[in-house]
Amino acid sequence: MSTDPVRFVTACRVCGSERWQQVVSFGKVPLANGFLDADGSHEDEEAYPLEVISCRTCRLLSLTAVVDPQVLYRTYSYVTSGSETMARHLRTVVRLCGKRVDLAGGGLVVELGSNTGDQLLAFRAAGARILGVDPARNLAAIAVDRGVPTLPEYFDSATARAVADEHGKAALILGRHVFAHIDDVADVLAGVRELLAEDGLFTIEVPYAVDLVEQLAFDTIYHEHLSYFLISTLDALFARHGLRTVDVERLPVHGGSVLVSAAPAEGPWRTHDRVRALIEQERAAGYLDDAVYDAFAARVRTTCTDLSRLVRGLVADGHRIAAYGASAKGTTLLNICGLGRTELEFCTDTTPQKQGRLTPGTRIPVVAPEDVTRPPDHYLLLAWNYAEEILRKESAFLEGGGRFIIPVPEPTVRGEAVVSR
């Protein structure tokens, strides 16, 4: 076994270039989903460099440090949120894919990173044959218990070949918020070519680099997210591996994502006009040049300083503050803005796997909403991607004078407007 759990990137995983622009450096940060047991057994908590660079050739945004997946996913506690917002989104994905692929005819849908099987159950309801592939054994076992056939493996060319031999070719290979976690994208795309039918589609949902920059969603930068893609970059990547981008949709999920479909280059699919349009828009807006990323880095610094000042000022004035939603991005936000137990009394979260544990690095106790006996004056919303749903759900807190601090794109206090409506 390798002793060093971190590999430092030299050549770009998309184009092989070694010409990089430095974008942001957050120092050493613990793993975003590395929640700690409350029994004090966390003296050896590790932190790893968290730094983003941009490839000057293909404009892939990449982390410099790739943490060994065995370390990263060993204590994996992320489960697909059971929120209304997410349930609606999973149905949207089925609808969008169903416009392109005949699901009702029993075509095979294979999902990479299928987690506990929610997305595949929605595909089965539409008539598809389903198969999940997910290396997190704890999650794959839950999926199997729920009736979702799941292979507890990493998806690579060998796994893809084995799946094709046993189940036949796939009409759709789907990866929601998993492709950006993959270091060896070449081997995964070789696997896609092995398993995908000639008229099939490879569809991925990834955070969109343009939204990351525009929405200043810098807290979505954490060790699991190795890549942040433009459509231009994905298009170049697919072309290198015998695939062609055929369609793209922008979606509001996770702070702004894109659903991108690719097909075998020589296959029957034609490329939708919106693919070229979006690539041209990226170029025109400056995403192929350094300046956009330098400006992003400066805005990140400002927002971090403003947020720390706002929270510390409220605490100094005698307000009680707690965190809401122990999201993975909350780990980045709290650690890089230097907010911890001094400022935040606790962190409420609905996920049983996180409750009773401590937030990574900052060691704030995570408590179930039903165990919050004294609500704070302000909640810092770490799950801002669910802001609308959460503000609606917390109307009693707001009506009682409680407020939410939304951290990005610039810190704002929400509540009064909602209550007075």
Kindly tell me which of 16 and 252 has the beta carbon lying closer to ligand TMP.
Answer: 252
Shortest distance, position 226 Cβ to Zn ion, whole Å: 13
12 binds, among Zn ion, ligand TMP, none (CB under 5 to 8 A by kind): Zn ion
Residues 58-117 that bind ligand TMP (CB under 6 A): 81, 83
Residue with tokens 């004035």: 317
The rounded distance, in Å, linking the Cα atoms of 195 and 158 is 10
Q: Which of 386, 398, 404, 408 binds ligand TMP (CB under 6 A)?
A: 386
Shortest distance, position 134 Cβ to ligand TMP, whole Å: 16
Shortest distance, position 328 Cβ to ligand TMP, whole Å: 5
Asked if 195 touches ligand TMP (CB under 6 A), the answer is: no
Beta-carbon count within 10 A of 273 CB: 9
Asked if 136 touches ligand TMP (CB under 6 A), the answer is: no
The rounded distance, in Å, linking the Cα atoms of 348 and 356 is 10
Asked if 58 touches Zn ion (CB under 5 A), the answer is: yes
In the complex, residue closest to ligand TMP by CB: 325
17 binds, among ligand TMP, Zn ion, none (CB under 5 to 8 A by kind): Zn ion
The rounded distance, in Å, linking the Cα atoms of 263 and 198 is 8
Residues 326-345 that bind ligand TMP (CB under 6 A): 326-328
Coil/strand/helix, residue 29: strand
Shortest distance, position 333 Cβ to ligand TMP, whole Å: 12
Asked if residues 365 and 354 have their Cβ atoms less than 8 Å apart, the reply is no
Asked if 349 touches ligand TMP (CB under 6 A), the answer is: yes
Coil/strand/helix, residue 412: strand
Q: Which of 50, 380, 383, 408 binds ligand TMP (CB under 6 A)?
A: 383
**Radius of gyration of the chain measured on its C-alpha atoms:** 21
385-390, long-range: CB < 8 A, 24+ apart: 385/85, 385/253, 385/254, 385/255, 385/327, 386/81, 386/83, 386/85, 386/325, 387/414, 388/85, 389/83, 389/84, 389/85, 390/324, 390/325
Number of residues that bind Zn ion (CB under 5 A): 8
Residues at the site binding ligand TMP, with contacts judged by CB under 6 A:
81, 83, 325-328, 349-351, 354, 383, 385-386, 389-390, 393
